[in-house]
Amino acid sequence: MTDPLSTAQLYLDGITVSFDGFKALNALSLVIEPGELRTIIGPNGAGKTTMMDVITGKTRPDSGTAMFEGRHDLTRLDEPTIANLGIGRKFQKPTVFENLTVEENLELALKDDRRIRHTLFRRLDEEQEAKLERVLAQVGLMRRRTELAGLLSHGQKQWLEIGMLLVHDPRLILLDEPVAGMTDAETAATADLITRLARDRTIVVVEHDMVFVRSLGAKVTVLHEGSVLAEGSIDAVQNHPRVIEVYLGR
Amino acid sequence: MMRRTPLLTGSGWLVFLAAMLVAAVLIPVLATLPPPDSMFRLPAYLVPLFGKYLCYAILALALDLIWGYAGILSLGHGAFFALGGYAMGMYLMRQIGTRGVYGDPILPDFMVFLNWRELPFAWWGFHNFAYAAFMALAVPGALAALFGWFAFRSRVTGVYLSIITQAMTYALLLAFFRNDMGFGGNNGLTDFKEILGYEVQAPSTRLGLYVITAVALGLSFLVCRFVVTTRFGRLLLALRDAESRVRFIGYSTTGAKLFVFVLSALLCGLAGALYVPQVGIINPSEFQPGNSIEVAIWVAVGGRGTLVGAILGALVVNFVKTWLTGAAPELWLFALGALFIVVTLAMPNGILGLVAQAKQWRRTPTAPVAETVHD
C-alpha cells in the first residue's frame, strides 16, 4: 500500500474539535482518493458540517492532521487560501449573491487574480467568457443569466452555487446537503449533474436523503458522534448493525 | 457575452452634463452677470452656502460608497471630513502671517497667546499649499487605513463597527478640544486672510472655490461610479449581502473593505479641505458624533446604494435645514428625527427608491438595498 499522505486527495487523521467541552469531532480519520465520489451520512450532530468547516479553514481543529494532496496543511491556512488551492464548498443553505445577476455571480467565482487592482481594471478575457458560458449550460441556467439570482427558485439557486464552484476549477468539491428542500424532479436532475461532474473531479457529498445517496451509487461513510462509524457501499452500511442502532435507536 | 454595466448610460451622461452645467456654469453666471438689482442675480451670500452643500454632497457620496455598496455603516465619517478641514485650516492660518492680532510672522495667534516659542512639528510645512493639500488627503486616508485594518481584520461588522467609529470621532473631538494638542483648542482655526494669494472673503475667490467644489463633486461622482460598475463593485455588493461566502470563493474581504474605506476617507478629506475656506472656520465641533450621524441620514433620505441619491439627499436635507433653522430653529432636530423615522419606515430606498417604484421596477445599475437579510 502506498503512503496515503502523498497520494490521497484529502487526508484527515485524528481530527478533534471541541466546543466548550463538547467534542464535535472525535479523532476523525478519513481518506478520499483522487477522482472519488464519496457520500457522507450521519445523524444530526454527527459532525458533518464541522468536518467541512475544518477542511475549508473555517474551524481550526484542536488536534489532528488535515492534508490536501499530501502537500497543503489545511489546519494552517485561511479560508481564501484554501479556496484558491482548489477546494470548493457548497453550503447547506444556498447563499448566492441575490443582488447580482446569475452571470455576475459566476464572474465573481471565476478562477482569476483576486487582487483589488485586477478586479478594478480587468475584464473577462475570451477564455473566461467561454468557461462562464460552458458552466451556465452545465448547470442549466443559460436562459436566466441576466436575471437577479434572488429571483431564482430554490433548486436553481443550488445549481448556481454548484456553478460557482465549477468556474473556480476546484479539484475537490464539498457539497453540503445539495438536495435539501428540492422537489423530486430537481433532486433527480441534481443527482444526474453530480454524477456527470464526478467523472473528472473529486466530490464529497453530505446528505440526509437516502434515495438521493443511493442514486449516486458511491461509497458511503457514516459519521456518528464525531468519528467514522462505518464505511462501504450503501447496502453494506444500511445492513451494518451499529448503523441501524444509531439511526433507529434501541 | 456578459452584459456590461457602462460607467454611465447615454441618458446618464446627459443628466450628468446638465447637472454639471447648472452647478459649475449657470450658477456662477447668475452670480456675476445680471445687474445687482435684477431678479436673476444670485445674491453673493448664497455662493459659499451652495459651496458648503456641495462639500456635504461629496461627504454623502463617500459614505454611500461604503454603506450602500459595501454595507459598512461608518458613523465617524465626520472625523475624516474634519481632519481634511484642519489640514486646509492650518495652511490658511500660516498664510495670515504678520496680519494676525499679535503680528507674529510664523506663529498663529493662538500659539502666541499660549506663550509658545516655536512652531510645533505637526505644523511644519503647512505654509506650502501643495503639502497642506496632500496632508488633507493623507491624514484621513492614513487614519482610515489604520482604523480599518484593525476593525476589518478582527471582523468587526455591523452595529459594532458603527459604534467604534462613533467612539473614534468622539475621541478626536476631545483631543482637538485640548489647547496643548496645538490645533487651536475649542476655538479652532479661523480669521483666515488669503488662499494662494487670493483674499478668502472676496466674492471672486468664493466663486472660484465654489466652481472647484462643483467640479470636485462631479469627479468624485465619476470615481465612485467607476468603482461600483467594475467587478470590484460587484464584489462589494456581494460582501455586503454575504461576506463569509465571498471569503469562501477566495477573496480577501479585509483588503476589499480596507480599500473602499480608505477611498471613502480620501473623499471626506477632499470635502473637508474645500469646506473650510468657504465657511471660514474649522473647530472641534466638526468632530461631534451627531454630525456623522446626520451624514447617514442624508444618504438614507436620498437613497442608499444609489450614488445620485446620496448627493440628492445631502442637498435636500441641507436646504431644508438652512430654511428651517432660520424659520423655526427649535424645530430642526425634531424634523431631522421625524425625517429619519419616515425614511426608515416608509421609504427604505429613499427618494430615488420612490422614483424607481414609480417607474415600475426595472433593473438599474444601482444597488437597491437587499430585502432579504443574510447573517
DSSP label of B26:
I
Q: Which residue of B has its CA nearest to A94?
A: B245
Q: What does the alpha-carbon distance between residue A237 and residue B194 come to, in Å, rounded to a whole number?
A: 86
pLDDT: which is higher, A85 or B139: B139
Q: What does the alpha-carbon distance between residue B264 and residue B236 come to, in Å, rounded to a whole number?
A: 13
Across the interface, do A91 and B245 touch by the CB < 8 Å criterion? yes
- Bridge-based pairing state of the strands A87-90 and B281-282: unpaired
- A85 to chain B, any CB pair closer than 8 A? The answer is no
Q: What does the alpha-carbon distance between residue B330 and residue B324 come to, in Å, rounded to a whole number?
A: 9
pLDDT tens, position by position, B160-199:
999 999 999 999 999 999 999 999 999 999 999 999 999 9
What is the radius of gyration, based on Cα positions, of chain B?
Answer: 21
- Classified as helix, coil or strand, B366 is coil
Shortest alpha-carbon distance between residue B5 and chain A (Å): 11
Q: Which of B65, B154, B249, B369 has the most A C-beta neighbours within 10 Å, making it the best mutation to test the interface with A?
A: B249
pLDDT at B346: 86
pLDDT at B367: 54
Across the interface, do B230 and A146 touch by the CB < 8 Å criterion? no
As separate numbers, helices (DSSP H) first and strands (DSSP E) second, chain B gives 15, 4
pLDDT tens, position by position, B87-100:
999 999 999 999 99
pLDDT at B355: 83
Where does the pLDDT of residue B1 fall: very low under 50, low under 70, confident under 90, or very high at 90 and above? confident
- Classified as helix, coil or strand, B199 is strand
On the question of pLDDT at B14 being above 50, the answer is yes
pLDDT: which is higher, A22 or B361: A22
Residue A189: name the closest of A222, A221, A165, A154 by CA.
A154
Where does the pLDDT of residue B371 fall: very low under 50, low under 70, confident under 90, or very high at 90 and above? very low
What does the buried/exposed string (b/e) look like for A139-161 if buried means 16 or more CB atoms within 10 Å of the residue's CB?
A: bebeebbeebbbebeebbbbbbb
DSSP label of A148:
B
Q: What does the alpha-carbon distance between residue A88 and residue A48 come to, in Å, rounded to a whole number?
A: 16
Looking at chain A from residue 145 to 184, which residues have their Cβ under 8 Å from any Cβ of chain B?
A: 146, 148, 150, 164, 168
H or E, element range at B204:
helix B203-229
Q: What does the alpha-carbon distance between residue B298 and residue B75 come to, in Å, rounded to a whole number?
A: 12
Per cent of chain B over pLDDT 90 is 81
On the question of pLDDT at B238 being above 60, the answer is yes
Q: From chain B, which residues contact A within 8 Å (Cβ)?
A: 1-4, 227, 230-232, 234-235, 237-238, 241-242, 245-252, 255-256, 259, 363, 367-368, 370, 372, 374
Residue B68: name the closest of B267, B260, B317, B266 by CA.
B260
pLDDT at B373: 36
Across the interface, do A122 and B250 touch by the CB < 8 Å criterion? no
pLDDT at B4: 81
Where does the pLDDT of residue B370 fall: very low under 50, low under 70, confident under 90, or very high at 90 and above? very low
Q: What does the alpha-carbon distance between residue A181 and residue B333 come to, in Å, rounded to a whole number?
A: 50
ipTM score of complex: 0.85
Across the interface, do A99 and B256 touch by the CB < 8 Å criterion? no
Q: A206 in the Ramachandran plot: left (φ > 0), alpha (ψ -120 to 50) or beta?
A: beta
Q: What does the alpha-carbon distance between residue A46 and residue A64 come to, in Å, rounded to a whole number?
A: 18
Across the interface, do A146 and B372 touch by the CB < 8 Å criterion? no
pLDDT at B375: 37
pLDDT at B366: 55
- Classified as helix, coil or strand, A68 is strand
Q: Which of A79, A111, A166 has the most B C-beta neighbours within 10 Å, making it the best mutation to test the interface with B?
A: A79
pLDDT tens, position by position, A73-130:
999 998 889 988 999 888 877 789 999 999 999 999 998 888 999 999 988 899 999 9
Across the interface, do A116 and B238 touch by the CB < 8 Å criterion? no
Across the interface, do B370 and A129 touch by the CB < 8 Å criterion? no
First to last CA, chain B: 33
> Which residues of A are less than 8 Å from B258 in CB distance?
none
Q: Which residues of chain A have pLDDT under 50?
A: 1-2, 250
pLDDT at B363: 53
Q: What one-character-per-residue DSSP string does B226-265 give?
A: HHHHSHHHHHHHHHHH-HHHHHHTT--HHHHHHHHHHHHH
pLDDT tens, position by position, B61-96:
999 999 999 999 999 999 999 999 999 999 999 999
Q: Which of B154, B226, B248 has the most A C-beta neighbours within 10 Å, making it the best mutation to test the interface with A?
A: B248
pLDDT at A180: 86
On the question of pLDDT at B369 being above 90, the answer is no
pLDDT at B317: 96
Q: What does the alpha-carbon distance between residue A178 and residue A162 come to, in Å, rounded to a whole number?
A: 9
Shortest alpha-carbon distance between residue A120 and chain B (Å): 5
pLDDT at A7: 83
Residue B304: name the closest of B252, B235, B356 by CA.
B356
pLDDT at A113: 87
Which grid coordinates belong to B189? 482655526
pLDDT at B247: 87
> Which residues of B are less than 8 Å from A168 in CB distance?
249-250
> Which residues of A are less than 8 Å from B243 in CB distance?
none
- Classified as helix, coil or strand, A38 is strand
User: In chain A, which ranges are continuous DSSP H helix?
Assistant: 4-7, 48-55, 79-85, 102-109, 116-121, 126-138, 154-166, 184-197, 210-216, 234-238, 241-248
Count of C-beta atoms within a 10 Å radius of residue B279:
15
Strand partners, A67: A11, A73
